A and B are shown apart, each in its own frame.
Chain A
Amino acid sequence: MTAVGKGIARLDARAKVTGKAQYAAEVPVANLVHAVLVTSTQAAAKVAVDVKDAEHAPGVLAVLTHHNAPKLPGAKTKTGPVDRVLQLLQEDEAPYNDCPIAVVVADTLERARAAAERVAVRYSSGGVQTELRERLAEAYAPKTAGPREPADSSRGDVPAGLEAAFVQIDATYTTTNQHHNPMEMHGLTAVWQGEQSLTVYDTSQGIFGVRKKLATVFGLAESNVRVISRYVGGGFGCKGSPWSHLALCALAARVTGRPVRLVLTRPQMFSLVGYRPRTIQRVVLGADARGKLTAVRHDVTSETSRLDEFSEPSALQTRMLYACPNVATSHRLVRLDVPTPTFTRAPGEATGTFALEVALDELATALKLDPLELRLRNYAERDPHEDKPWSSKELRRCYQQAAERFGWAARRLDPGSQRDGKLLVGWGMATATYPAKQSAASASARIDREGRVLVQAGTQDIGTGTYTIMAQIAADALGVPVDRVRFELGDTSLPETPVSGGSQTASSTGSAVQAAALALKKKLLALGAPLRAPELDLRALDAWLAQRTEPEHRAEARTEEKAERKRYSSHSFGAHFVEVKIDADLRQIRVTRCVSAFAAGKILNPKTAHSQYIGGMVWGIGLALLEHTARDPRNGRVVTRDLADYHVPVHADIPELEVIQVHERDPYVNEIGAKGIGEVGITGMAAAIANAVHHATGKRVRDLPITLDKLL
């Protein structure tokens, strides 16, 4: 009996398409009122807020500003290394544009919005700095690259390696601001039970982080804060951290003594919940005449706010992806009058593989070598950075299978050599990679007298299929059919699990769920449950359960990274092969074909995995060709503040995306043998497209997004 590995449809799909699934901002709550945020129109400014008009508007219950908001002793306390300083009306300051400066609460949403428009604000601002290129002289070394890794790395002797090189590439690449823009905007419903106990219905990738933050801000015991997030309409990183609006909604609920709902507007989504920071990346490559890398340098500068340090770790993959004895990388930050950036699908690798994999394409061009052949000549048989064997790595098969399926062998080497009528045709490829992570997690499993199994873990399903794969894992571990298993998640009253970020939910929570189910089975067997070795005897089990006196049997488990794993390096890998067609006159660029292969350990559910992969690839098309948040340098205000001006791909931009799931067995990575798949799909994709654009036109575009004006 194996459910794992079957492509069963998402168990929550029916609830979602029928509207039965209730999201954070539609949970029915009695006595509910509505809050609307007023945000600043200046940055780096002092504010004076006049609320007289707003307070007298119909239906208004409260207007909170820095003048009257209760002081929150925990407002500035950081709860962890990636926690943010929130803007909770404690000061007369707007550090960035669209910063919260007032909260209006009214009996209806419409009245709250109407009153919010009547809040008058005066600013005094002493000049704004939001241009990364203009402030490079102020770049400094952050404490870490990403949450954990050292900012700099060095192995071997890069200058000597460059000295010895037959060919050198030295180029600078830039990536722009990108916003997550999940379909479901951030929103929550906050309900106090007295002064000391708070329940929040949120849309979150990390409910335990939200609980901790709210407890800290309001000085509550964590056990008195409950966060519930049953369904999440997309996150991609922006729902991974607690942001200001959360605590402001809870504050509004406390002040008014009513349950309060707050939903961000789409324009507010561009300032209040993070974004992918701009990067400027210099890559220097040296290679011998056969294409063997003799030196690699990758230096990254990105932006952060004046409030927090967030460093986009774009050079991490450069440390481990190719076999090269001489590699040096660095990360630098520039502080600007902008909101704090955050994790955005494959933070680091999405932008970093763009620079590295385009530089490799430039090297292949200089060497007149097939770009795939160049990768194979530098294939890393073990992790050269950590100097450890891979726990598994089927990247070579990814290259081979995707290249064959794509027909890569027919590619002509010279740019501009393939045409289809008025269209220039280009083929490009790139490598994909993302680390396999695992954090400590807990889960529980129980079976009642009717043989129904309930498995619980606090975790979140951010649209990835968590409900489904956890039920599959539990069913197999216990030895029961999957339709006997119900999996509950999204509630801090359930066993604690990590944030659904870093592609780690399957490995972390999945391991805990498997362990809990195994513990339950062991318990049942110890009690004498019928056995058909080595599994439970299902036919006899029901009768056995029915005659037991206990109403149910229950087991819990907590798992963390296997000790054995520390001897290995674990990453998901993949390869993209992309065709673009570019109108020879009008320069419109369309991706017309894409074949990608991925190896990510055991695939728990090929159907949900496929969705994850193609979702990442669609993001890669957006990153490469469309997505760009423009900020007005005069006041730091986002100009492209809706989905008409900020372009995500539409259906017509996406061709059929073919995904090959390469079989990979990994006995070391974790108990269930699965690596992450949610983010690897975007990595390398922008580079493969940029490389195809070069192949089509001979023009090397090093600045994303590649819009048609850059090809005129």
Chain B
Amino acid sequence: MRDFDYVVPKSLDEAVARGKQAEHRFIAGGTLLVDLLRLDVERPAALVDLNAVLSERISWAPNGLTAGALARNSDLADHPDVRRELPALSQALESGASPQIRNLASLGGNLMQRTRCAYFRDPGVAECNKRRPGSGCAALEGYSRMHAVLGGSRACIAVHPSDMSVALLALDAIVRTRRSQGGREIAIADFHALPGETPQVETALEPGEIVTEVFVPASGFSRRSAYVKVRDRAAFAFALASAAVALELSGEKIATARVALGGVATKPWRALEVEAALLGRPPTRETFEAAAKLAANGARTTPHNQFKVELARRVVVRALERAAA
């Protein structure tokens, strides 16, 4: 860890201005950033503390949920309106990390979560295009059991580790931000970036831009939603594969479907082909199994992570069964 400055801005505008400066990093809960500082992966000139300028307020209105970027993961997961109206979000949050980490980790920080790729987290590895753009990717030919089978590129196959973001994707969340020109809204589907040739660019945020709150609309499917996560151990582990799904039923038929995958892709992954295959069908196991076959279409696998293709299908079926129940 190198010496760095610690800055406490007095206003959101000041935070934006500070954050634009070279090598300045925002910190909220710090559950990941402090880890990366200790690993010498992050070497900031200064940390800009957002705790005084953002809100942790969580509020439910008939049109949906508004949560401040500082809302702690545990508070959001345990909020009665979230449990009732957005079960997939509550379940996703509770399946992540440990209670201690959830008590500290913020909503905004979870959205900005960095990959757990072991090569990214080890500065003793020279090749990582995320950490050192242009240096190569050690994971492509390396130990890649945890890595992405969807959305990867020749530059990066690091998996996006967030559970919460997968649920937000299925629920059509909107990310509200502040930058120097003022506020804007970014659809969650546009928030996370594919690695392409620039895996160091992980989100749509501009330098200095800050997530201020997240809005999750109430919809015909948000109540009938579920999150299922499969992992190696029973708790405190990242997903091998996970799925957030939401269904709107009309009579005996599926009128709307949302299916998002976690643990298998370089960003929270919307399985549009699965959704299309569900429409107009009865919510039965046969329907789910047929549709889930499309879950990992276009997958590119390694010998280590090939199993994720089949696992993703099965997780989708289980999540759909839960949501339909």
Contact = CB atoms under 8 A, between A and B. Distances in A.
Contact of B122 (A585, A641, A653, A708): A641
Contacts of B233: 625-626, 647, 649-650, 652-653
Contacts of B236: 650
A650 B40 CA distance: 27
A636 to B, nearest CB: 12
Interface in B269-325: 307, 310-311, 314-315, 317-318
B90 to A, nearest CB: 18
Contacts of A41: 124-126
Given A585-B314, A585-B317, A639 B119 contact: yes
Nearest to B126: A41
Contact of B142 (A39, A110, A639, A647): A639
Given A585-B318, A712-B307, A632 B143 contact: yes
Contacts of B124: 39, 41, 98, 637
B187 interface: no
Interface string A680-703: 000000000000000000000000
Residue of B123, B233, B236 most packed against chain A (CB within 10 A): B233
Interface in A106-125: 110, 113-114, 117
Contacts of B314: 585-587, 712
A504 to B, nearest CB: 32
A590 interface: yes
B177 to A, nearest CB: 29
A interface: dominant SS: loop
Contacts of B238: 644
B235 A650 contact: yes
Contacts of B252: none
Given A626-B233, A640-B118, A641-B122, A712 B142 contact: no
Contacts of B119: 639
B29 to A, nearest CB: 17
B16 to A, nearest CB: 29
B232 A647 contact: yes
B306 to A, nearest CB: 8
Given A632-B143, A639-B122, 17 more contacts: A41-B125, A110-B1, A114-B2, A267-B122, A587-B314, A588-B231, A590-B234, A625-B232, A630-B143, A632-B138, A637-B122, A641-B118, A641-B122, A645-B118, A647-B237, A652-B235, A712-B311
Given A644-B116, A712-B311, A626 B142 contact: no
27 contacts: A41-B126, A267-B122, A585-B314, A586-B311, A586-B314, A588-B230, A625-B233, A626-B232, A630-B143, A632-B138, A632-B142, A632-B143, A634-B141, A637-B124, A639-B118, A639-B119, A639-B122, A640-B118, A641-B122, A647-B237, A650-B233, A650-B234, A653-B233, A653-B234, A708-B230, A709-B307, A712-B314
Contacts of A110: 1
A586 B1 contact: no
B5 interface: no
A651 interface: yes
A208 to B, nearest CB: 35
B318 A708 contact: no
Contact of A117 (B2, B142, B143): B2
B244 interface: no
B315 A637 contact: no
Contacts of A626: 232-233
A496 B116 CA distance: 47
B163 to A, nearest CB: 15
B142 A634 contact: yes
Contacts of A644: 116, 237-238
A587 B3 CA distance: 47
Contacts of B121: 642
Contacts of B82: none
Interface of A: 39, 41, 98, 110, 113-114, 117, 267, 585-588, 590, 625-626, 630, 632, 634, 637, 639-642, 644-645, 647, 649-653, 707-709, 712
B45 to A, nearest CB: 14
Interface of B: 1-3, 40, 116, 118-119, 121-126, 138, 141-143, 145-146, 230-238, 240, 307, 310-311, 314-315, 317-318
A118 to B, nearest CB: 9
A707 B232 contact: yes
B228 to A, nearest CB: 8
B1 A708 contact: no
Contact of B315 (A586, A625, A645): A586
A611 B318 CA distance: 38
Nearest to B314: A585
A130 to B, nearest CB: 12
A93 B282 CA distance: 67
CB-based closest 6 A-B pairs? A652-B234, A709-B307, A41-B124, A652-B235, A639-B143, A630-B143
Contacts of A39: 124
A588 B235 CA distance: 12
Contacts of B317: 585
A586 B292 CA distance: 14
A619 to B, nearest CB: 14
Nearest to B161: A644
Contacts of B240: 708-709
A209 to B, nearest CB: 30
B166 to A, nearest CB: 17
A36 B124 CA distance: 15
Contacts of B125: 41, 637
Contact of B230 (A586, A630, A637, A642): A586
A473 B119 CA distance: 52
Contacts of A651: 235
A626 B146 CA distance: 14
A590 B236 CA distance: 15
Nearest to B142: A632
A273 to B, nearest CB: 18
A503 to B, nearest CB: 28
Contact of A114 (B1, B141, B145, B310): B1
A632 B141 CA distance: 10
A43 to B, nearest CB: 12
Contact of B310 (A590, A632, A642, A712): A712
A117 B234 CA distance: 36
Contacts of A650: 233-236
Contacts of A637: 122, 124-125
Contacts of B146: 645
A441 B141 CA distance: 53
Contacts of B315: 586
B125 to A, nearest CB: 7
B136 to A, nearest CB: 12
B286 to A, nearest CB: 14
A482 to B, nearest CB: 38
A588 B318 CA distance: 13
A650 B235 CA distance: 7
A81 to B, nearest CB: 33
A634 B126 CA distance: 13
B3 to A, nearest CB: 7
A647 B238 CA distance: 11
B42 to A, nearest CB: 12
A392 B122 CA distance: 52
A191 B135 CA distance: 43
A630 to B, nearest CB: 5
A591 to B, nearest CB: 10
A535 B84 CA distance: 71
Nearest to A265: B38
Contacts of A647: 232-233, 237
A647 B234 CA distance: 11
A585 B315 CA distance: 8
Contacts of A267: 122
A681 B3 CA distance: 47
A98 to B, nearest CB: 8
A130 B320 CA distance: 44
A117 B2 CA distance: 9
A110 B38 CA distance: 10
